[in-house]
Amino acid sequence: MHRLMFLLALTPLSVAAQSHASAGLFVARNSSLPTAPNLAGLELRSGYGSLAMRLSAGAGPVFSSVFGERGVDRERIYGAADLDLQLDLAGPRALSVMPFVGIGMAGLSRVDRGGADAVPMWSYGGSLRVPFGGNVALQLETRERIPFEATDAFDFGITRAWEQRVGLSFAFGGGASRRRVADAGETRDSRATHVSRTTVTSRERRDAGRSLATRRLRVVESAESHLGTRYRYGGASPREGFDCSGFVHHVYSRYGMMLPRSAREQATVGRRVSTSRSALVPGDLLFFRLEGSRIDHVAIYAGDGRILHSTSSGGGVRYDDFGSRRGRWFMDRLVTVRRVIDD
Active site residue 309: yes
Residue of 277, 280, 246, 238 whose CA lies nearest to 263 = 246
297 is catalytic: yes
| 2: annotated active-site residue | no
Among 20, 244, 249, 250, the active-site one is: 244
Position 249: which residue type?
H
Q: How far apart are CA 167 and CA 28, in angstroms?
A: 9
Which member of 194, 226, 250, 297 is catalytic?
A: 297
Task: Give dist(CA 215, CA 301) in Å, integer.
Answer: 14
Torsion angle, CA of 33/36/40/41, rounded to 10 degrees? 30
Residues with a catalytic annotation lie at 244, 297, 309
